Amino acid sequence: MNKPLISLFFLLLFGQVSTAQLTQIPILCYHQIRDWKLKDSQTDKAYIIPPAIFRAQMKMLADSGYHTILPNELYAYLISGKPLPSKPFMLTFDDTNEDQYKVARPILIKYHFKAAYFIITDKIGTHKWFMNSLQIKQLSDEGNVIGCHTLSHGNFKKLTGTAWQTEIAQPKKTLEQITGKPVDYFAFPYGYWNRAGLPQLHQLGFKAAFQLEQPRYPKDPIMTIRRLVARGYWNPQTLDYNIKHDFGRPANK
């Protein structure tokens, strides 16, 4: 039996038990960080956060004593109950947008925050709107985590046949070549996932995967970790309220 299948066996055998009694850690998801445009709808504004609002949200988190953790720390907590710092939370960024590097990065550095960045590999360096390989490597070198967000942001629920290789396995290798580090974490495009595809992620060597706001799958909670989209129209108090009321339940809920 190869290593990924062995890992899958033990996760399925013990994963639900080891995570069932642990509290969900707040995990925030961000996409674009820019000022709104007239054409942006209210739905768009959930995923587009103006820099001033993002700055205010990060200040609130720092002033409130929150400490960022990274996926390896979360994984160790979920699998073995390894202790975390006081008031832990995780920052994640999806979709390779360059404003995450140019706008968000200096703010995170100011507050000594680290983050996980989930990269769509066919967007890398293709336009001024997207990060290039050097920027991605710098984020990694600075202690952030680079994760896979597929080749083309395709719907995970529709992957079949060779698409597992082209959309996930090869992008994982591409990011490992850029960073020089293992890429152990995956985020589902649009947050879409299905039970049938989860074993594929184990077999491809991922430790954990991140969705959005659906309930976790109790039989494989490590591959359906929840995140909260931090809406662009939330002031710091609204964000704080949603963190406290959305998380705090057992990890398999």
Q: What is the reported pLDDT for 11?
A: 45
Q: What is the reported pLDDT for 247?
A: 87
CATH class of segment(s) 24-33+46-161+169-207+221-246: alpha beta
Tens digit of pLDDT at every position of the chain (253 positions)? 444 444 444 444 444 434 445 789 999 999 999 999 999 999 999 999 999 999 999 999 999 999 999 999 999 999 999 999 999 999 999 999 999 999 999 999 999 999 999 999 999 999 999 999 999 999 999 999 999 999 999 999 999 999 999 999 999 999 999 999 999 999 999 999 999 999 999 999 999 999 999 999 999 999 999 999 999 999 999 999 999 999 855 444 4
Non-local (6+) Cβ contacts of 225 within 8 A are 27, 74, 78, 208, 209, 210, 211, 216
Between CA 168 and CA 7 the distance in angstroms is 19
DSSP state of 24: P
Q: Which two tokens stand for residue 221?
A: 């909670």
Q: What is the reported pLDDT for 19?
A: 46
**DSSP β-bridge partners for residue 59:** none
